[in-house]
């Protein structure tokens, strides 16, 4: 009698019985399959970009989820919400600095506001256009010195001083390089440049 009742409840179709058993959780709730691994990885990258305030990068990733995984309703709903958030924040933010001067000004402001990551990103973008720009090299040296990355800080500072020797005097009194004060290489690197005697005499006559 029990077997007949079970057959009637599923229409007597054994295939439907198997499907029903696979799609049901304890308590009678249907099981919801997890989103594909690729979709979850893409969503994670989008959220990381959003947390960095990289709204364009985040928007691209959220749009890829919406276009590539239309069947993942739960993931799609969240992606649409965050995509709207990216649009609002992008509209609220000032336009990104474009010229080298604008980016250097923004990088300096970021460093003054303790935004080391923002200062690094802007300074590196300047080096992408001008690999020997002294101020961009100097700012990167300051960023790495703040982080305690001694080798990188000395490398960028040395490159900055090679382009602009007067940067050595600024570095000696710059609080951003306090972490390097115990390094002999720092003091050697920032020693005042030796001016030839003939040049000193010409300056004195001038």
Which tens digit of pLDDT belongs to each residue from 81-118? 999 999 988 778 666 678 999 999 999 999 998 999 98
Rounded to an integer, the average pLDDT of 38-48 is 93
Could you give the CA distance from residue 25 to residue 104 in angstroms, rounded to a whole number? 58
Residue 124 domain flag: yes
Domain carrying residue 52:
37-92
Residues 105 and 154 in one domain: yes
Residues 189 and 105 in one domain: yes
Global confidence as pTM = 0.52
The CATH number of the domain holding residue 163 is: 1.25.40.10
Whether residue 50 has pLDDT greater than 80: yes
- What's the number of CA atoms in the CB half-sphere (13 Å) around residue 134? 10
Angle at the Cα of 48 from the Cα atoms of 45 and 52, rounded to 5 degrees: 135
């Amino acid at each position: 009698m029990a077997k007949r009742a079970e057959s009637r409840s599923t229409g007597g179709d054994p295939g439907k019985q198997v499907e029903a058993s696979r799609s049901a959780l304890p308590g009678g709730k249907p099981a919801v399959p997890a989103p594909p691994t690729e979709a979850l990885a893409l969503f994670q990258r989008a959220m990381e970009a959003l947390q960095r305030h990289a709204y364009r990068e985040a928007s691209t990733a959220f749009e890829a989820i919406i276009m590539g995984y239309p069947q993942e309703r739960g993931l799609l709903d969240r992606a649409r919400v965050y995509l709207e958030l990216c649009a609002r924040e992008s509209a609220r933010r000032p336009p990104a600095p474009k010229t080298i001067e604008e980016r250097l000004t923004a990088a300096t402001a970021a460093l003054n506001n303790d935004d080391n990551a923002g200062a690094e990103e802007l300074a590196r973008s300047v080096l992408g256009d001008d690999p020997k720009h002294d101020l961009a090299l100097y700012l990167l040296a300051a960023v790495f010195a703040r982080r305690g990355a001694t080798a990188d800080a000395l490398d960028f500072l040395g490159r900055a001083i090679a382009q602009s020797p007067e940067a050595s005097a600024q570095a000696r009194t710059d609080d951003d390089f306090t972490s390097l004060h115990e390094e002999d290489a720092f003091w050697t690197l920032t020693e005042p440049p030796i001016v030839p005697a003939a040049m000193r005499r010409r300056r004195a006559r001038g």
